[in-house]
Structure 1
Amino acid sequence: MRRLTVPLADRSYEVVVGRGVVAELATLLPSTAQRAAVVTQDGIPDEIELPGVEITTFIIGQGESAKTLDTIATLMSGFAAMGLTRHDVVIGVGGGMVTDIAGFAAASWHRGIPVVHVSTSLLGMVDAAIGGKTGVNLPEGKNLVGAYWQPSGVLCDLDFLDTLPPREMRCGLGEMAKYHFLTGDNLLAMDLEERVARCIEIKAEVVASDEREGGRRAILNYGHTFAHALEIATGHQLAHGEAVAIGLIYAAELGFELGRIDATRVQQHRDVVAGEYDLMTQPPPGLDADELLALMHRDKKALTGLTFVLDSPHGVEVVTSVDEAPVRAAMSRLLQ
């Protein structure tokens, strides 16, 4: 078992990684909690036991179509019915979608109550459950409504991964591949617990330096601008991690188009994504370049024109006001 810290001064919290660590849940709850609202989904193992705490469980829908303000409104009504107070706690048990929704519900209820995440997916463990980003989708874009609300603690119990469907594991691997390009670490040389812990350490360090994504934290979105557009354009037939894997290749192609990296570095991206992680590198056929471009213009990072996180000889960084011509050229190569 490993206990890591996300260092945010008086709001620092622990992330516990290992097998069987769900037994540590009670140690992460606020001492005042008399009630717990557990937000989860059908099919996720019920491992929650909290002696002395009254538990009410809320089952939310599956898939991105359930990641909406309607779901938040339903949870708010449920919280009111159970009498949830600021002294109590919300517990998100599930993958990244569940912790995004549980976190936003906690941030909104009574203008903010504690939330603890029990992450049950690889994607959630290495990314979604860590760092305090919460939110839901609109038809116009992904995660456009939300809040920064740090959890009081996070559990990453690797036992949950033993029964995770292969596609869900691939989603986590898509996000994990991203960390190769942020640090150059050889993550595949590590065992699973060490690898998950290292990804958390990388994200915690970045979050601590820029909690609200005013600058450096945006590098965690490497590959995500194109990925989010792909998710929406395919009606979420591509899962998030699958889209991120393709988005990493697109970011490399765009970086090459802009003269930021050479062809050898582009091939390194393909070697990691396709070779080492055995993930998709090509979008599905039939996508419209104009639609993808419009969706990327609506990305949350696009404050001054098209904005991407791109590689360079001195590391990954945010690039603003990117012209449409190279964006289209890189897209053309990938869509072919």
Structure 2
Amino acid sequence: MSAAQAPRQVSRQAPQRAPHRQVEVALGGDRGYTVHIGPGVRELLPVVVARLGAARAVVVSARPAGTVPDPGVPTLWLAARDGEQDKTLETVGELCREFARFGLTRGDVVISCGGGTTTDTVGLAASLFHRGVPVVHLPTSLLAQVDASIGGKTGVNLPEGKNLVGAYWQPKAVLCDTDLLRTLPDAERVNGYGELARCHFIGAGDLRGLPLHEQIAASVSLKAAVVTADERDTGPRHILNYGHTLGHALELATDFALRHGEAVAIGTVFAGRLAGALGRIGERRVAEHLEVVESYRLPTAVPAGLDPGDLVRFMRRDKKASRGLAFVLDGPSGVELVQDVPESVVAGCLAAMPRTGTGPGG
């Protein structure tokens, strides 16, 4: 990563912009914050920094120079890379050392700019340095805007599993600038739809056909409500992991060649099949899982060549599992976390899933 200190002065007046959506994450004390959604909202950054009273900032950005507006205070600029390959404790350590060399204090601010892996990693570094430095997220991928940057979960991977090391550290603001999505490759945009597809089954309703900014706002509003009710995953927040148990296993089994949203999409189809096999939902609801995922042009088949035993082993390490295999599943009382699902049923549903030989995303 590279660094350059650049103290510059800019106006702290909020720029004139068309109205945008605001979603409040109404947590207690000073943990609540606003998620801003719309074109150009990243230009609010110097206003946010001024309201925090920060004397200095560190910007960690996986995007080209100029993507992040000047925070309006002396700033250390660090280059980062999106991707699971850098979502590690080693990266967190490197960031914290850069913070220390810059002299960052708890009265300053860290700003992340990038996809979900960047917001996760930078958020964890901010949570650990001095036992917590304020952080502001500028998510630049669809997946990060609809899900990863909101809710305060930070984390990195170990070779043994995904997101096994992390902390809860709520941002001070999230700026979801929809202008930044215009340059996304089509494959990355479709990847972001994986989290939107699973929203269909956890309370957001049918988002298909809505303008993209409304889809983002609906997903953020749902997550904000769930996080407000259960900040630290002791109950209702588990529903946000719909499709993620198999999804995370698929990411690990493919060495992350399968993107997160694609893996969650396949995991969502699997969750429908598993709920059906357990008698929790009927055939029509099972079929609806496939229909919704396909409508977003997401993959629905498990990549060929993966060892089912490896997938089960990875799923056993899922952080939701307190005993046996655990899945968030639909049912007669709605979506809930189901513990100790019989391995034989899981294995049978895995065997029945279609396979594709075209590789991840095919």
Relative to the length of structure 2, the TM-score reads 0.90
- For residues 139 and 260 of structure 1, the distance between their equivalents in structure 2, rounded to whole angstroms, comes to 34
2:63–2:113 contact (8 Å) kept in structure 1? no
Q: Any idea what the Cα deviations from partners look like across 1:84-107, whole Å, max 9, x if unmatched?
A: 000000001111011001110100
- The answer for the alignment partner of 1:334 in structure 2 is 353
2:204–2:218 contact (8 Å) kept in structure 1? no
Q: Any idea what the Cα deviations from partners look like across 1:211-263, whole Å, max 9, x if unmatched?
A: 00011101000000000000000010001001000000010111111111111
Q: Alignment partner of 1:218: what SS?
A: helix
- The answer for the alignment partner of 2:176 in structure 1 is 156
Counterpart residue identity of residue 49, structure 1: D
Q: Alignment partner of 1:186: what SS?
A: coil
Is 1:280 matched with 2:292?
no
Alignment of 1:251-266 (within 5 A): 251-266=271-286
Is 1:71 matched with 2:91?
yes
- The answer for the alignment partner of 2:248 in structure 1 is 228
- The answer for the alignment partner of 1:32 in structure 2 is 53
Higher helix share: 1
Counterpart residue identity of residue 275, structure 2: G
User: Shift in Å at residue 48 of structure 1?
Assistant: 1.9
- The answer for the alignment partner of 1:212 in structure 2 is 232
Counterpart residue identity of residue 114, structure 1: P
- Structure 1 segments (4+ residues) deviating >3 Å: 42-45
User: Shift in Å at residue 44 of structure 1?
Assistant: 7.2
Counterpart residue identity of residue 319, structure 1: V
Q: Alignment partner of 1:38: what SS?
A: strand
Moved more, 103-112 or 30-39: 30-39
Q: Alignment partner of 1:9: what SS?
A: coil
1:129–1:154 contact (8 Å) kept in structure 2? yes
Counterpart residue identity of residue 324, structure 2: G
- For residues 64 and 188 of structure 2, the distance between their equivalents in structure 1, rounded to whole angstroms, comes to 13
User: Shift in Å at residue 41 of structure 1?
Assistant: 1.5
User: Shift in Å at residue 175 of structure 1?
Assistant: 0.4
- The answer for the alignment partner of 1:177 in structure 2 is 197
- The answer for the alignment partner of 1:269 in structure 2 is 289
User: Shift in Å at residue 20 of structure 1?
Assistant: 0.7
Q: Alignment partner of 1:300: what SS?
A: coil
1:60–1:71 contact (8 Å) kept in structure 2? no
1:64–1:97 contact (8 Å) kept in structure 2? yes
- The answer for the alignment partner of 1:118 in structure 2 is 138
Counterpart residue identity of residue 238, structure 1: L
- Which of 86, 94, 103 is equivalent to 1:83? 103
**Percent identity of paired positions between Structure 1 and Structure 2:** 50
2:68–2:113 contact (8 Å) kept in structure 1? no
- The answer for the alignment partner of 1:144 in structure 2 is 164
Q: Alignment partner of 1:86: what SS?
A: coil
- The answer for the alignment partner of 2:211 in structure 1 is 191
User: Shift in Å at residue 46 of structure 1?
Assistant: 2.2
Q: Any idea what the Cα deviations from partners look like across 1:15-49, whole Å, max 9, x if unmatched?
A: 00000111111232253211111112154752321
CA RMSD of aligned residues (A): 1.3
For structure 1, the residue ranges without an aligned partner over 5 or more in a row are none
- For residues 331 and 276 of structure 2, the distance between their equivalents in structure 1, rounded to whole angstroms, comes to 9
Number of equivalenced pairs? 334
Change (3 A) 1:44 1:314: farther
1:287–1:335 contact (8 Å) kept in structure 2? no
- The answer for the alignment partner of 1:325 in structure 2 is 344
Q: Any idea what the Cα deviations from partners look like across 1:275-317, whole Å, max 9, x if unmatched?
A: x201100011001011100000000011122100001133111
- The answer for the alignment partner of 1:313 in structure 2 is 332
- For residues 120 and 60 of structure 1, the distance between their equivalents in structure 2, rounded to whole angstroms, comes to 13
Change (3 A) 1:228 1:45: farther
Q: Alignment partner of 2:208: what SS?
A: helix
- For residues 174 and 118 of structure 2, the distance between their equivalents in structure 1, rounded to whole angstroms, comes to 13
Q: Alignment partner of 1:319: what SS?
A: strand
